[in-house]
Structure formats: C-alpha cells, structure tokens
Structure 1
C-alpha cells in the first residue's frame, strides 16, 4: 500500500513538472515576436543585427534629411551624434514628428537602411523618450529642458 502511494506521488510530481515545462515553452514562444530590443544608431553601425531581427532604434532626426516621396513614403536619417543611420518608412508620421526631434522606430536593418514599420515621436515640447535621452546623455549632447544645460 505504501509503495502504491509513493508511486502515485512520483507520477503526480513528474506530470506537474512536464506541465510546467510545456507552459514555460508556450509562454516563451508567445513572447518571441513581442520583444523588441532597443539600439541606438552607434550600436546598429557597430554590430548590425541580422535582416530578420525586429528591433527598436531611436535618436534625433537629422536636420535637412527628411525627404517625402510619392504617397506615404518618407526617408530621413537618425543620429545619436556619433553615428547616422538612414531610415525608410511607408506610412503616416505622427503629427509632432520633425527634424531635430527625438523619435523611436520599430523595424529591421536591411542593406544599411533601417526599414521602419512604426514611428513614434515625442508627445509634447519637453518630452524625450527615455531610451533616446539615455543614449544622448552618454554622448554628452542631451540638453535637459528643465535645467537648460548639457548633462553627461
């Protein structure tokens, strides 16, 4: 009788571990498309990701680089004041998108061009996306709108 209970307990534990492993695998599989890592232009140039990888890239839109093509096609360049990456986007840009402004795009780096599928821009005069502000602080060019001085 004792060995039957022990055997049943081991079966339940093994079944629970298998169910836990399957659950973890399904959760990981479900999240694989939803996770987008952030890179600044310097990181993209230094170590280009494979063309199949979707990631987020942000920085400042280079002054004079915004070119509107036919329809909804737009090309521009993004910089972190160390490197510049050309960006190609087809779609409608946010209203506050502009040259010299911070932006974050989601897309793929293909043949030296960031092919953006989504563009996000600041939502007011003083906002800078955290990732962009951090990368610009590292390069020493971020100006804190509240202090009015450059921070490092």
Structure 2
C-alpha cells in the first residue's frame, strides 16, 4: 500500500474510533440521568413483554390518580404520604415539601423520585395535572355563557369600578 494511503487510512480509522468512543461516553453519561415513566400497574407487574420491574434505588417517574382518602399529612412537618393508582394496584408516594396548588384527591399527578421499597416511592418532585376539561374562552362563552375578560383591558378596569 502506498504510504500516503496508509496515512489517510490511519487518520480515518482514528477519527471513526474517536467519534464512536465519544458517542459511547455521552450515551453512558446520559443513561444515569434518564428517568423512566411508569404507571402504578407497570411498577407492580413490570414493564413491557419481559416484565422488568423497577428496582429499589432506581430513579423514575410515576403517574396516576391520587386515591380518595389516602392523603396523610404530618402536622409538625411538611411530610405527606398518599397513594396513586391507575386501574388496579396502588403505589405509595412519600413527599416532603409543599404540594402544588392543583394537588387534591382524585386528581392526576406525576411524582419523580427514588424507589425505596418495591411499591413505595420517595418523591423529590410532585407535579399536579390541570383539569382535563379546559375550554378555550370563546367556546366557554358559547356553551356556558361565561365571558372571558382580559385583565389588562379597559373593559376589565371599568367592571371593577374604576374610571377609564
């Protein structure tokens, strides 16, 4: 082989190896930051055809509906315990902090945290879903007679008793 081609081949192979190694390191680093989303049924039964269950110590997100009557608050601290379900099994969520304003029993939530027992998640973040019955202001006005007034408009100012 001609020395010039050997040199090009060496550079090409080095470049391909470098890109592959960089890509491998990036994917490995990202795998530590990925939080998989599970429903309570998937936590209980396993995920996918191979029925892989989340393990204790794994970071993940669980989404479902807060079970009626399951919210227990510690009056001395900000600790809250509640159960989440989708269609059957329930998962207990432990959270320390202030819950979102939209959080209530029967409401959909997503909790992110670490599994500390097979069906117990210690949450670092709780997100409450808004009402699924949202309607654009124009449709609400037509259907329910509710008129949306922009709070920044003169019309809203006049309704509050102010002068134009």
TM surpasses 0.5: yes
For these two proteins, the number of residue pairs brought into alignment is 126
Q: Is there any run of 5+ residues in structure 1 with no aligned partner, and where?
A: 129-152
Instruction: Tell me, in whole angstroms, the C-alpha distance in 2 between the residues paired with 1:23 and 1:42.
Output: 37
Q: CA deviation at 1:93?
A: 1.1
Instruction: Tell me, in whole angstroms, the C-alpha distance in 1 between the residues paired with 2:125 and 2:100.
Output: 10
Task: Tell me if 1:77 matches 2:95.
Answer: no
Q: CA deviation at 1:81?
A: 2.5
Instruction: Tell me, in whole angstroms, the C-alpha distance in 2 between the residues paired with 1:16 and 1:114.
Output: 44
- 2:122 corresponds to which of 115, 123, 134: 115
TM alignment of 1:55-70, pairs within 5 A: 55-69=60-74, 70=76
SS at match of 1:44: helix
TM alignment of 1:118-133, pairs within 5 A: 118-122=125-129, 124-126=130-132
Q: CA deviation at 1:76?
A: 0.2
The structure number with the bigger radius of gyration is 2
Q: What's the RMSD between the two structures over aligned residues?
A: 1.8
- Normalization by structure 1: what TM-score? 0.76
Instruction: Tell me, in whole angstroms, the C-alpha distance in 2 between the residues paired with 1:97 and 1:66.
Output: 10
Q: Which has the higher contact order (CA 8 A, sep 6+)?
A: 1
Residues 72-111 of structure 1: CA deviation (Å, up to 9, x unaligned)? 1100000003111111111221111111000011112222
Q: Is there any run of 5+ residues in structure 2 with no aligned partner, and where?
A: 47-52, 135-164
SS at match of 2:87: coil
Instruction: Tell me, in whole angstroms, the C-alpha distance in 2 between the residues paired with 1:25 and 1:92.
Output: 39
SS at match of 1:75: strand
